[in-house]
Structure 1
């Protein structure tokens, strides 16, 4: 019968010097890169609910009617409605509620293509709404289920204003005039 050798435990020293050298070089590198990295954010508000009393009197109603601007991103363009009436609808005339208010700029292009939608026409329309309702900042955005997220983000950027910079406004300064509807509320599904 053979005897097994007794296992002898040997202490192994961990050599941390190479790891520390790499970390010593990475920390200043990461700090210097963060100085040049731009951060951006999109302010999105949740839907607002109110528990209004059923006994609301007409005298209690606000004098200025809210705009209630809604933009639906469809496969065939943008549908804009304000105060529960589709944009472009004239009084007394029936319009197709499913037709886009602003048709595609380039029909036939794939859904993910930026040039597919007419963002210039959307911004021009939004400027008119902002001139009529200068204190409104909220817009409700909805989209069909197959619309890419980048298209929704481009739509939010257009509704806020392509040259809108809110960094100073968020620090307490006045909101710039080139900022239109910069508080989007995302709603599920275009209806």
Structure 2
């Protein structure tokens, strides 16, 4: 004969009321927190590859040629180059490739201080390039390893134009005139 077990199975009633109360309080709290959370996005495009023809017309005007605008964020400023030549260097002459084109606005400040860069001068230089090449919208950006990420973000903002608002342009309207190079391509490592 089998012995009966002393323990009998009992049905346990789960009390979900405390969990429901917590969830009931969390939903309005999370919705209220969204009021203070700021959301933003940065349009970044991958590099473009194309099979370009070897024989190109030599009499193209500057507005027809690609700009190939590149900005390198250095520890001591910005180095700009366009069409393979560093900005500020005369044609046919080699320039000091290590010197920044736009030096720091506040030299002597700590490396982690992104406000030491001269973003206003960078934006003015981007505006002058945009005047010469009105159809260009891309810029290639790279940075040295010690440059803070916030400096890279502010660099993208300055190159796009600080007053640039693309929300309406993404809905089909024309791109505003105060938007310069709003499609950055971020490369790894300064080179």
Q: Where on the TM-score scale, by shorter chain, does this alignment land: which range?
A: 0.7 to 0.9
TM-fit CA distance, 1:60: 10
Residue number in structure 2 paired with 1:145: 145
Whether 2:136 is the aligned partner of 1:104: answer: no
**Structure 1 unaligned regions, length at least 5:** none
Q: 1:8 to 1:60 in 2, by over 3 A?
A: farther
**Structure 2 unaligned regions, length at least 5:** none
Whether 2:128 is the aligned partner of 1:128: answer: yes
Tell me how far apart the structure 2 counterparts of residues 37 and 61 of structure 1 sit (CA, whole Å): 53
How do 1:24-63 and structure 2 match up within 5 A? 24-34=24-34, 37-52=37-52, 56-59=54-57
Q: 1:38 to 1:173 in 2, by over 3 A?
A: farther
Residue number in structure 1 paired with 2:171: 171
TM-fit CA distance, 1:58: 3.1
Residue number in structure 1 paired with 2:157: 157
The answer on whether the counterparts of 1:103 and 1:118 sit within 8 Å (CA) in structure 2 is yes
TM-score scaled by length of structure 2: 0.87
- 1:132-169 Cα distance to aligned partner (Å, 9 max, x none): 11111000001111211111111111111111111111
Tell me how far apart the structure 2 counterparts of residues 112 and 88 of structure 1 sit (CA, whole Å): 27
Q: 1:57 to 1:114 in 2, by over 3 A?
A: closer
Tell me how far apart the structure 2 counterparts of residues 162 and 104 of structure 1 sit (CA, whole Å): 19
Tell me how far apart the structure 2 counterparts of residues 6 and 117 of structure 1 sit (CA, whole Å): 78
Tell me how far apart the structure 1 counterparts of residues 56 and 71 of structure 2 sit (CA, whole Å): 29
Q: 1:57 to 1:143 in 2, by over 3 A?
A: same
Residue number in structure 2 paired with 1:80: 80
Tell me how far apart the structure 1 counterparts of residues 93 and 59 of structure 2 sit (CA, whole Å): 28
> Counterpart of 2:190 in 1: which secondary structure?
coil
| Runs of 4+ deviating beyond 4 Å | 59-63
Number of equivalent positions: 187
- 1:52-106 Cα distance to aligned partner (Å, 9 max, x none): 46xx433599761111100000111100000001001123433111110001111
Q: Indicate the RMSD between aligned Cα atoms, in angstroms.
A: 2.3
Residue number in structure 1 paired with 2:184: 184
TM-score scaled by length of structure 1: 0.87
